[in-house]
Amino acid sequence: MNTNSNKSAFPIFTETGIHQDGLTKREYFAAMAMQGILAAPEECFINQWDYIGIAKCAVVAADALLKQLQNPKP
């Protein structure tokens, strides 16, 4: 996977030059996917109480998005 996935989704540079990374792009995309899955788990054929399955599905979705974003063609 491209190292771009480990770059900060929302880097912060303060006036003193301190850099705070926050979430990586992969973590941010996984969180957004997990939010959608939790809103409608039946759409992913996942039991709404299977949090491990939901988390795995969210990470797979995030990785798929990052891979697709590397593709120069839409």
User: What pTM did the predictor assign?
Assistant: 0.72
The answer to whether residue 69 sits within a structural domain is yes
Q: Pull the structure tokens for residue 71.
A: 């593709």
The answer as to whether 33 is a domain residue is: yes
Mean pLDDT over residues 8-16, rounded? Answer: 77
**Is residue 9 assigned to a domain?**
no
Mean local confidence (pLDDT), 10-36: 83
- Mean pLDDT of all residues in 31-55: 84
Containing domain of residue 66, as a range? 23-74
The answer to whether position 41 is within a domain reads yes
In a domain, 12, yes or no: no
Decide if 4 is inside a domain: no
Task: Report yes or no on 51 lying in a domain.
Answer: yes
The reply to whether 50 falls in a domain is yes
Q: Is the dihedral of CA 59, 1, 69, 13 positive or negative?
A: positive
Instruction: Quote the number of domains for the chain.
Output: 1
